[in-house]
Chains A and B, each alone.
Chain A
């Protein structure tokens, strides 16, 4: 008797959940059928919500970098290692991640922290092997360190061999050669 009652009890719970879920599904069907604009609004909201946080964080980092704030380093690194760490080349945030890499590289180069700048440059290149800005930036930053100048010239030379028709590459190589010549003279 008690067992039957238990079964009835659970059945009723199941009926309740199923009814609730069926009503939800009907509402969703109604939403799609009669209120497509609402669906679009939900869509926009989800995307906006997803996009908002990393964008805000990047903006915040930029401000800190501009103000030369002590927290700038932590901010940009945490953005890249936490929020954007899983972002890949074909993801929505690819461009944002690229901007973040750029900020980090410029920031560390300004601080003359070559190790960190190199680390983020390598990450940037690894992120997109076809990003010529990243490759040229790495060579240019190396060029600004006298001890790394030969490595930089080699790298620019091989980029120039591979992409002789890309103005950004040829200009960087030309400038580096001219500068080296002037120094040697």
Chain B
């Protein structure tokens, strides 16, 4: 026995020493984490509902076990199709610095390097995230900032976020769905992070929201409001409700036309949200919120069963200054976090949800968004996308032993918390994670199926009761889709006074509206085109405290409140004066939502019901057409919401600072002999403001032979019209033989943004600054004449423009400025006596054919000006004529100019790569081309690909330079 003890004693170190070392290591790690993150900081998110000491100790222990297993039994997955890799290199000292005093130390950037396109680029990195799971565990969420001169795929800042859910892909799947649905989303991907060459597992790659996000989404730079009131963003001494306090919001991007601290648009939005029951407030909400986008946003939240948007955090809202509308931005949506079998098809998570749910336009938009989603088969595409990412994620997960997630130990464990996370964070094995993702896929499939049953329905029903002696026809609409049109068919011809009213009860009181203008009377039928909503009921809200409703995933005890909300049948009455006398209704056809026609069902009796919350069910003044054929005087700001026809010879005189804003279709019917004129009321007066076309209601507007003189612009807290004539968010506008001259005060004479317009035979004279400013639009400028522009004749930003048969002369700066990702195709133009003929910059392309560059100080220039764009300008020059220019061509090292078959006098010096002169370029044959072929590509890129091919027929391949046309 003694001998045995002696032997055991002798060899005991083989066992006791490793155990002691591992234990000591464990003890140090656990103590550090426990004391720092729990005792000192009390970070609840890591240990929800559990003892911190127990949880931290257990996690570390399980981590060792997994490490041990992984070291011996790790499968080789390196050759499998994996996620995209992000390689970051950080000196160990810098990492130690970041980790020295978390979370505070992690918020300071340290120098690092990023492997990008085969090169190591200098970047800065730091940790990011409000909650402890972002930085208190071994895998940490990271923010990377590049240099301005070297963006990463067009991004200055991006985040690498540790997936924080059991199934890892919740946020990725949610963002991807938002992207598929067409919402405003930062760029997102699932990647594998390598830190100093060592894999750290799967991360969510997420663009950091800033002005670049707007630009890459072809949106005007503007304010992005950021609503966060948790952890370090929390304010003390004020209620924690973002929709009470606009001043507590921050900005992720800024509209630099207003003071940085200005939040006027947001203040307006909050004031409307605070008065949801006010019809005027609801009307304004419809005007300043892009209801299609908000409807889509809500549909998205229903589809991902979101619970992560509330009154205290995760709001990002963009205010589009050109459309004067708020657009939601998807931020940290974190869908599918609750393991419920029941799907929520209605929910309200914040005061803004509540206010929107009382808005007819919003309800229609969200219902349509959900229908379109299923109609277009996006549900199936989405499931496929999730399966694809699972396959690429699998090999990465299998190699990751550091996945800390909030997960039940046993499947039937009760949640420890009502909110997220429902379970304490624990280390989970790769196999368990993969199993959880598979289960999530099944759950999503099931959610989509259930939501489809509710929203992708063939509409509700319309019931009617035979009209009473007073000519009242009771209607009842069920389901969740709006009725767009009702056609009533009669037995006998329709006779009597053609007058129809619509009545409904609002909080017990009858509301009656004359809708005769919306009815079309046939011989045996009446067609009424007006949206009739089913009722939508909401539980009351506490005005002082804001919304106190449960979000999704809450316990069943709250389910009563959930059930109160939603669609209910609605009751209307159509009132016919005497149309029904001696007549009989044969049938009523109903058009639900513009695409489902149904026959209404006759009922013996219909019970009356009253609307309680929905506002503005019937428009007070249905749209119609206004005709101006006399002299008109405009004072102050005149808004025309109807279609407007202006007859030939009409003169519109505007008082100083007066504005005319038209949101219907404008038809200016001037002719050469009798133009329509927009002039100052008195000679020598201060300038008038703006004539503006605004919104999609103004689509297909036509302005013929109109003269605009002496205007300026118009700027308010919520909008800015920077041109004397401004066209915002209008498609298919035609400006034919119009003349614009002598504007004052503001930047542009004519400004178009988010528009599609044709300028034909127009003259732009003596603009104060730019003559025609085109932002984020498509435009055709044909046979126009720009003369003596104070700055640029044509200024393009993120636009696609053709300029043909046009003269641009005597510009104070550029004849054409092609900037910020624009595309220009110019054919047969005269560019004369400008400071700079054409300048192409910042990721823009220009293809120039048959142009005359004469007498310019610098004929052609290409360079990179704005750091937000990775490159300068690319210019293809073919069959052009350059003469008497002080300098012919210039390009910086980020730009390229290739010249073919052109006459250039004098010949410029070539710069390797930057300026390439083909052998066909000379200074001998001034007008006769050498080559019959036309060049369309520059280094393999087709420079004309974005344009209609027919336009290329205008190129005359035998001629260098423009034809000798004379205009105006």
Contact = CB atoms under 8 A, between A and B. Distances in A.
Interface of A: 11, 14-15, 17-19, 21-22, 24-26, 28-29, 32, 36, 39-40, 42-44, 46-47, 50, 88-92, 98, 128, 130-134, 136, 162-168
A143 to B, nearest CB: 17
B24 A165 contact: no
Given A40-B54, A47-B39, A98-B236, A22 B20 contact: yes
B51 A92 contact: no
B413 to A, nearest CB: 15
Contacts of B267: 164-165
Considering residues A28, A89, A90, A130, which has the most beta carbons from chain B within 10 angstroms of its beta carbon? A90
B947 interface: no
Interface residues of B, number: 43
Contacts of A44: 51
Contacts of B907: none
A131 B41 contact: no
A29 B248 CA distance: 48
A40 B236 contact: no
A96 B486 CA distance: 66
B504 to A, nearest CB: 35
Contacts of B40: 91-92
A90 B61 contact: no
A55 to B, nearest CB: 14
B279 interface: no
Given A46-B39, A167-B238, 5 more contacts: A21-B20, A92-B40, A132-B238, A136-B237, A163-B238
B238 A168 contact: yes
Contacts of A29: 61
Contact of B246 (A11, A17, A46, A165): A165
Contact of B24 (A21, A88, A134): A21
A19 B39 CA distance: 31
B479 to A, nearest CB: 40
Contacts of B233: 130
A22 B270 CA distance: 63
B53 A166 contact: no
B868 to A, nearest CB: 30
A46 B238 contact: no
23 contacts: A15-B9, A15-B13, A22-B20, A25-B23, A28-B27, A32-B58, A32-B61, A39-B57, A40-B53, A40-B54, A43-B52, A43-B53, A43-B54, A46-B39, A47-B39, A91-B40, A92-B41, A130-B236, A162-B247, A165-B244, A166-B245, A167-B238, A168-B238
Nearest to B47: A43
B12 A18 contact: yes
B231 A90 contact: yes
B23 A21 contact: yes
Contact of A168 (B19, B23, B234, B237): B237
Nearest to B274: A165
Nearest to B22: A25
Contacts of B103: 90
Contacts of A28: 23, 27, 57
Q: Which 5 A-B pairs have the closest CB atoms?
A: A25-B23, A133-B237, A132-B237, A18-B16, A43-B53
Contacts of A90: 41, 103-104, 231-232
B39 A131 contact: no
Contacts of B235: 130-132
A166 B238 contact: yes
Contact of B16 (A21, A98, A134, A136): A21
A42 B248 CA distance: 41
A44 B38 CA distance: 11
B13 A18 contact: yes
A18 B17 contact: yes
Contacts of A165: 244-247, 267, 270
Considering residues B13, B16, B41, B58, which has the most beta carbons from chain A within 10 angstroms of its beta carbon? B16
Nearest to B11: A15
Nearest to A12: B9
Contacts of B232: 89-90
Interface in B41-67: 41-42, 51-54, 57-58, 61
Contacts of A133: 236-237
Nearest to B15: A22
A106 to B, nearest CB: 15
A21 B18 CA distance: 10
Nearest to A51: B39
A166 B245 CA distance: 7
B509 interface: no
B903 to A, nearest CB: 62
Interface string B625-637: 0000000000000
Nearest to B61: A32
Contacts of A89: 232
A19 B238 contact: no
B235 to A, nearest CB: 5
A39 B51 contact: yes
Contact of A32 (B9, B41, B57, B246): B57
A92 B42 contact: yes
B261 interface: yes
A130 B16 contact: no
Contacts of A11: 13
B41 A91 contact: yes
A22 B236 contact: no
Contacts of A39: 51, 53-54, 57
Contacts of B248: 163
B68 to A, nearest CB: 15
B12 A15 contact: yes
Contacts of B20: 17-18, 21-22, 25
Nearest to A88: B104
Given A15-B9, A19-B12, A132 B51 contact: no
